[in-house]
Structure 1
Amino acid sequence: MGRPRTFIDCGDFFLRRWRADRDAEPLFRLIEESLGHLGPWMPWVSRHSRETTRAFLAGADRKWRSGDGFAFAIGMGGRLVGSCALYRAAEPRGRVLGYWLHPAATGRGVATRAAAALASEAFALSGVAYVEIVHDVANTASGAVPRRLGFAEVRRVPVTPPAAPSDRGIDVVWRLARPAPPRGGADIPLWG
């Protein structure tokens, strides 16, 4: 199946694989600085601690090795500004993409371009037929990302009880199918 690259240059920012052996404190601080921004939408924020940060990174290393998930730090201007990841979906040919940013990094297209880069990496892997992005219907900022990238809304799923404080309890599922290869069969990367 393969794996995505461990470092992805996106011009004015980059994605690099999270590493348990060096990233616990930087990730902990990044989340600490983003608590108010993330808390309404991310249920794990209420349990945030150094221990949960280390556990996330250890799990990210295991998932990378097994091919079940690929978690990346987002870096810009010499500092980390967010996180994004690509995980196996319930169906073997699907992947689910997620992202979050430090509040100072929002409004610049970073989440959209990071999601585009990860979708391209997903489609470079053999056997991946589609990528999905899932967010609560109330999280319009997260919903703007798949809309900008040409994902299609495929369903809405009730979640009871809602997962996070600002959730309405309805997950919106967006899907992007693997692009057809151009005539002649050569693959080209998505979005540049």
Structure 2
Amino acid sequence: MKRYIFLVLAILAVVVFASGCTTSTNQTYNESGVSFDYPMGWTKLSASQMSTEVEGAAPMVAAVADEDSISNNTYQTLVAVQKTNSTGTLDEGVSASKSALLGAGAVVVSESNLTVDGSTAREFTYTMKIGSVDKKESIIIFEKNNYIYAITLSAKASDFDGQKENFDMIVKSFKVT
């Protein structure tokens, strides 16, 4: 009889966890025509907190950052989304972005293709020094509804790989609304 009670309790625990009755580990950003999930403990940045280091870059429409990554009053781990009118091909947009970053001192370390919100996307990962900080970033660029979107995933070079799960959550859940 005791074994059956233990078995029933074990099955009940599995059902509760599998049904999603657990604490959520993410929150949802849904503004400026985009939505995505991002980790608990991260914060949504206001327009005044968003800036772009690269001259001529498209305006940012969304940004979230890891609250635990602040160093010298700057978020070191963040995700920013830029949106601009589509005036050329996706490849032209990727080429222009890479040229601007290479001109700012970036070194491209990898390139790949993926799908974001049902659209073909190009990703390139690069390293660069921003101020005194060695950064590693990925930019994912795709076209949707006559706009070009660029999602920048950024962290200290030493922390970037450790943020993979968080970055993947954002990219996989990203939707143009």
**TM over 0.5, yes or no?**
no
TM-score (norm 2): 0.30
- TM-score, normalisation: structure 1: 0.28
Instruction: Point out the structure with max Rg over C-alpha.
Output: 2
The structure in which a higher percent of residues are strand is 2
**Greater helix content:** 1
